[in-house]
Structures are given as structure tokens and as C-alpha cells.
Amino acid sequence: MLHLPYTSMVLSFVVVGAVASPRLSWTLLLVTLLAYFAALGVGAHFLDQLPGMGSHYVRHWPPWALWTVGLVGVTIGVGIGIVGSVLLAAPALLVFVLVQGICALGYPLAPLFGGLLHRDSVFAISWGSLPCLTSYYVQSGALSLESLLLAAGFALLAVAEIRVSRWSRELRLPGPGVAAAGAAVPVPDAAAFRRPDLLLLALSLGTTLVAVLLLVGRAVLTT
């Protein structure tokens, strides 16, 4: 349910954004990680599994439970952001929180928003750029050219991630006309299934490893 490749990459972008900041508060980093884990790692992914919304390949969760966990997750993430903006006296943080909250709902609940927010460009911003920029801003209270360049790079990584994931999903879907004709459709061999899955795993693990190493390096330098 947590879609670990997506979740780990989002949290990695949060970590890199914090590490790139001139100042690093471990408390603020942990709170930012918690907010993103709740809103995107849990909330958006549960909403994505609702019937008629996004993926819906998890069948053992009833719709009411998906709605409950999804909305609670997004609410926790947004709530943490609002409280953080008050405690940090950073009203501009509310802009990040508002945009991220809208995307966390609008991307998975595509039919309810007319598909307006279910685009690769929105995914690139909400799952790539914003986690990095929000984390950097929380730490430093401002943005920099470095943070914008990192955010642009992470947007491209997010696009690669969603397209590889879509490729993997399409391989598992029955071909067109199967239900009507009842004809057998050639099934890709195991190697075909593994290709996009291995690419997605490489993207996820590689990004996570870079984030962990940067965080460890920052910790060593500051002790």
C-alpha cells in the first residue's frame, strides 16, 4: 500500500533538500519526513486505490477504509505543515503546504478533479520538486539557486519514475479486445516484466542511497 519505490524517492528528495540547506535541524528534518510520509506515502497512495481512481489493484481494502486512511494521511501532512508555518513564523511555507495538499488529493482522485491534476507535469512538481524545495525552505527560511536546480533535477527523476512504473503496469494489463473476443492474448515473458521493475528499483535504491550518504556526510561534518 505504501508503494515503496515512490515513497522512498519522495523521502530521499526531502533529505537532500535539507542537507543542501546552509543550516540543518534534525528535528525539522524528522518532522518534514513525517509530514511527507503521511500525506504522500500513506494518504495519496490509499486514495489512489479507490475504485475508479488511479491504480485500484489492491482489492482487500474496502472503499470506506481507503477513504479514511487516505484523507487522514493527507490531513496529518497538511496539519503538520500549517503548525510548522506558525511555529517557524514562516507564512510563506503555507504556499508549499497548500500546493502540496492540493496535488496529494488531485493527482490520485483524478476523476473528481476532471483529470486536471493527473499529469506527468503535476507529478514531477508534487513528487519531485516540492519535497526538495519544501524541505530546503523549512531549514533555511528561503530558497536558493542551488535548491531550484536540485528541484529541477528531481522533477526529471520523478517523470522517469512514473513513466517506468506506467510501463510496468501496462505490461500486466490484458490486451485490447480480450473481453469481447475472448481470444487468448500473448503474455510477455518474465524478462519483459522484470525490465521496468528493475529500472524502477534502480531509480528508487539509487536515489535513496545518495540521500543517505549525503545525510551521513553532513552528520559527520557537523560533529
Question: How confident is the model over 65-123, as pLDDT tens digits?
Answer: 999 999 999 999 999 999 999 999 999 999 999 999 999 999 989 888 888 888 899 99
Residue 193 pLDDT: 56
Residue 118 pLDDT: 85
Other beta carbons within 10 angstroms of residue 85's beta carbon come to: 18
CA–CA separation, 26 and 100 (whole Å): 22
Other beta carbons within 10 angstroms of residue 69's beta carbon come to: 18
Residue 53 pLDDT: 76
Non-local (6+) Cβ contacts of 209 within 8 A are none
Residue 115 pLDDT: 80
CB of 44 closer than 8 Å to CB of 7: no
Alpha helices in the chain (DSSP H): 4-20, 26-36, 45-48, 63-87, 93-106, 120-124, 130-140, 145-172, 178-181, 190-221
CA distances from 30 to 37, 72, 159 (A): 10, 19, 26
With a cut of 50, which residues of the chain have pLDDT below it?
176-181, 183-185
